[in-house]
Amino acid sequence: MAATPDRMVAVGRRDRQPLVVSGGGSGKWKISQLKGKGTLYGVALAGKSEGWAVGDTGGRPLVTRLSGGRWKPYQIPDIPGGYLRDIYLDGSKRALAVGGVYDDSGRARPLILSWNGKKWSQVTPPDGDVRLYGVTGDGKGHFWISGVDLEQPGEAFLLRYDGHTVRALRGAATVAQRTVRLQSVTYLPGTGTVLTVGHVVDANGRYTDVIERLGTSGRAKP
């Protein structure tokens, strides 16, 4: 879900087709069901008439754009096996969408798509068995992506993208067997702080909610 002072939008699926539900100050809701198969998972707005929503068709990433009061599919690079789970919109000329790509073996590798005001292009992700879930930004071209590194699952894990380079940020190492999965992420304007929420799975399979804070030191803290 995303909101501005005069619009709120939620996305999903109905009858196997992408679904957008939007409302304004009148209290009335508008339902838009897009053509073709697919599901939308993430949405971002920059104003009443500027927005993007992302998801997948069941075999490829799906990106839709709010234009002329209507949501329409937008052309992106062809990425078989790809999917998108979240998007952050930094004005009309910058956006970042994150997800993954399944290969023939069923293993997923990270997927990052960047919008420059004219087209979407792939950003080179880090190596490793990484899953990406959420993305946020500071409105100045810096982005943070939440997820989990399954090769080092015991450490809180974020990616930072400055428009040129993707860099991994990690929490403190631990000897305990656990998996820290950070799912939603947000930037707190004026504080230099990024907050993420998710869960920790211990060696017995028990889940515990977790909140991680990334400060100006560049290190995640519980």
The single residue listed with the structure tokens 């990024």 is: 194
Q: How far apart are CA 168 and CA 143, in angstroms?
A: 12
Long-range contacts of 92-95 (CB under 8 A, 24+ apart): 92/46, 92/50, 92/117, 93/117, 94/137, 94/141, 94/163, 95/44, 95/52
Is residue 111 a contact partner of residue 82, using CB atoms and an 8 Å limit? yes
Q: How far apart are CA 160 and CA 173, in angstroms?
A: 19
What's the distance, CA 202 to chain centroid? 25
In order along its 222 residues, the chain shows pLDDT tens digits of 898 887 899 999 999 999 999 987 667 888 999 999 999 999 999 877 789 999 999 999 999 999 888 899 999 999 999 999 999 999 888 999 999 999 888 788 999 999 999 999 999 998 889 999 999 999 999 999 999 999 999 999 999 999 999 999 999 888 789 999 999 999 999 888 999 999 999 999 999 999 999 874 444 444
Is residue 133 a contact partner of residue 147, using CB atoms and an 8 Å limit? yes
Predicted pLDDT of residue 218: 46
Q: What is the DSSP letter of 12?
A: E
10 Å Cβ neighbour count for 106? 7
16 token code pair: 């196997």
The single residue listed with the structure tokens 């998710």 is: 198
1-125: what CATH class?
mainly beta
Q: Amino acid identity, residue 136?
A: T
Beta bridge partners of 5: none
Sorted by where each begins, the domain ranges of the chain are: 1-125, 127-222
Cα distances (Å, whole numbers) of residue 151 to 128, 156, 164, 187, 191: 7, 12, 25, 26, 31
